[in-house]
């Protein structure tokens, strides 16, 4: 539940990507797919397993765990170093497509970034 609350707070913190007419979701209604530029790592999970962004967007991951994690593309497009507590990793997605990633220390932790064309 903590992760869901964090995701909801994140949604509210980025009004530019959350259309004004969209009602603020309650934690139980947070969709699996959301727009945003920050993904939180907490309790061995990525807070937003799927993130959809426009090309040119920088996505930042922040690790809130005591454990070290990585953000590593499944096909080596990007690869963070080990992220300790409160450390971040950013990557700018310039080309539309689907980018799957995981933590090389805990491979059951997976996520996806969907990059849409800049003018869509």
Residues at the site binding other proteins, with contacts judged by CB under 8 A = 2-3, 42-45, 65-68, 70, 74, 81-82, 84-85, 100-102, 104-108, 110
| 4: helix, strand or coil | helix
Provide, rounded to whole angstroms, the least separation between the CB of residue 66 and other proteins: 4
| Closer of 18 and 51 to other proteins (Cβ) | 51
| Closer of 54 and 106 to other proteins (Cβ) | 106
| Closer of 53 and 71 to other proteins (Cβ) | 71
- Give every CB contact of residue 113 below 8 A, 6+ residues apart in sequence: 50, 51, 52, 53, 59, 93, 98, 99, 101
Provide, rounded to whole angstroms, the least separation between the CB of residue 19 and other proteins: 31
Residue position matching structure tokens 């497009």: 77
If 0-12 CB within 10 Å is exposed, 13-18 middle and 19+ buried, where does residue 77 land? middle
Provide, rounded to whole angstroms, the least separation between the CB of residue 16 and other proteins: 30
């Amino acid at each position: 539940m903590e992760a869901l609350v964090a995701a909801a707070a994140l949604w509210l913190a980025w009004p530019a990507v959350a259309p004004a007419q969209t009602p603020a979701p309650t934690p139980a209604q947070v969709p699996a797919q959301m727009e945003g530029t920050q993904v939180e790592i907490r309790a061995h999970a990525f807070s937003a397993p799927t993130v959809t962004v426009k090309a040119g967007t920088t996505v930042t991951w922040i690790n809130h765990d005591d454990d070290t994690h990585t953000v590593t593309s499944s096909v080596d497009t990007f690869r963070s170093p080990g992220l300790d507590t409160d450390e971040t990793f950013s990557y700018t997605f310039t080309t539309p497509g689907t980018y799957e990633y995981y933590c090389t220390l805990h491979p059951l932790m997976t996520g996806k970034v969907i990059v849409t064309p800049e003018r869509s």
